[in-house]
Amino acid sequence: MSDKNLENPEPLSKVFDSEDQIREIVKEFGTPTYVYSQNLLEEQTRKSLCFPNEYGLTVRYAMKANPNSNILRIFNQAGLHIDSSSEYEVRRAIKAGIHPQKIMLTSQKIPDNLTAILKGGVLYNACSLEQLENYGACFFGANVSVRINPGLGSGGTNRTNTGGPASSFGIWHEDFDEAAEIADTYNLNIQRVHTHIGSGSDPEVWKKVALMSLDFVKRFIDLGNCVETLNLGGGYKVGRMSYEKSTDLQECGMPVRQAFVDFAQKTGRKLKLEIEPGTFLVANAGAVISEIIDVKSTPEYNFIITDTGMTEVTRPSLYGAQHPITVLPEMPTGRFERYIVSGKCCESGDILTPVPGDSEALKPRILAEAGIVGDLVVIGGAGAYCAGMSAKNYNSYPEAAEVLIDRKGKTHLIRQRQTLEQMTQNERRVI
């Protein structure tokens, strides 16, 4: 990324209609606070439901991106199904009112209560030979889904790449025969094949893996399995920053749709398509409102210290991820300054403006001149992998509040700010 990209400050998040709305939210709910737009969530939902397909489409929301029950219900009402990554996500989705048959569990860990979960109607996606064996022992002769690591992956960073030899996710493609033997031993029918290569993946790599995945389907069919569905995961790249390009689902999906048509002509099997967007649905539908608590300078940098940081937005510290940041001075001067934006934690890595892809290096941003303590800062692109992946309670800071702006512009508290008593309620005194 060149400095040219930094000469123009990022625009204010589309979550908000105006600065006045932001200030009203702060008055009512305080800071830091996550804010989500129902209109933007539903707009992204409509786009995902239009993903090119020929023989049927199921869109599963990857709920790990943001598991708030209100967001789950918005997607459920729009017709989306659920991709869950743990037994706890399964239980959380059911508690939110999602029917078990609309939930698929794809997890690194075999739940202790797997039998009870699956008897309730939840679908299971076996992600290893051990999981497939365990499933077969519990459900002889049943249908099952299997996740295959195709040997190729792609992600926004190496840490978000979930395919290829450096990834533990899924059954390694060279172990296909062993997986088929396990299925045969327990008379399992491979009903669904699943691949997922990473978050923020290159659309071209995604399309290539989609075509490769059809080969796995063909091999299972040749062994007598009645494969009905190919699940291609999610990971569609979302441009949080204005200079980043988001994946065009129509452009990405048309070659896949044609591949399904060609596959049907060759095999007679009309496969249903499943996709699992997470970031695509929620990333830019959310933002964090924070407050400036200090402004400092060293010979090299000017720092803005905010009352948010890695406790609400961990991605910059983890991946060197970029989020749009807007300073809203109470009394604007019209001037701009280069700032490093830091969080409130006693942690040198609590930086919101790292070099792209390098969480250990600093990259100043051109922002409106911060006038006083109490000026507001908005961090955009915070709907995905922020509230659900926060470093909450570090330094004993409470979990932030979450607010939803509904279709009519009315604000609703959908998670209250945590109290110290709630933070410590599970501690037991022994001394």
Domains of the chain, earliest start first: 3-36+283-418 (2.40.37.10), 38-282 (3.20.20.10)
* pLDDT band with cut points at 50, 70 and 90 for residue 371: confident
Residue 274 phi, psi dihedral angles, 5° rounding: -125, 145
| Cβ contacts of 87-91, under 8 Å, gap ≥ 24 | 87/111, 87/112, 87/113, 87/114, 87/117, 89/63, 89/64, 90/117, 90/122
Confidence (pLDDT) at 160: 39
198 compared with 360, residue with greater pLDDT: 360
Note the pLDDT of residue 152: 62
How many Å apart are CA 100 and CA 111, to the nearest integer? 16
Percent of the chain scoring above 70 in pLDDT: 92
pLDDT of residue 126: 96
Given the residues 127, 252, 345, 346, the one annotated as active site: 346
Q: Which residues contact 167 (CB under 8 A, 6 or more apart)?
A: 149, 153, 161
- In this prediction, residues 77-88 reach a mean pLDDT of 97
> How far apart are the C-alpha atoms of 31 and 41, rounded to whole Å?
22
Average pLDDT over residues 14-41: 98
In angstroms, the CA 201 to CA 213 distance is: 16
pLDDT of residue 370: 86
Whether residue 192 is predicted with pLDDT greater than 70 in this model: the reply is yes
Distance from C-alpha of 241 to C-alpha of 352, rounded to nearest angstrom = 13
The answer to whether 346 is a known catalytic residue is yes
Phi/psi region, residue 343 (left: phi>0; alpha: psi -120 to 50; beta: rest), is beta
Task: Flag whether pLDDT at 338 surpasses 60.
Answer: yes
Tell me, what's the pLDDT at 317? 94
Confidence of residue 208 (pLDDT cuts 50, 70, 90): confident
> 161-190: per-residue pLDDT in tens?
344 555 567 899 899 999 999 999 999 999
At residue 235, the pLDDT reads: 80
pLDDT of residue 132: 96
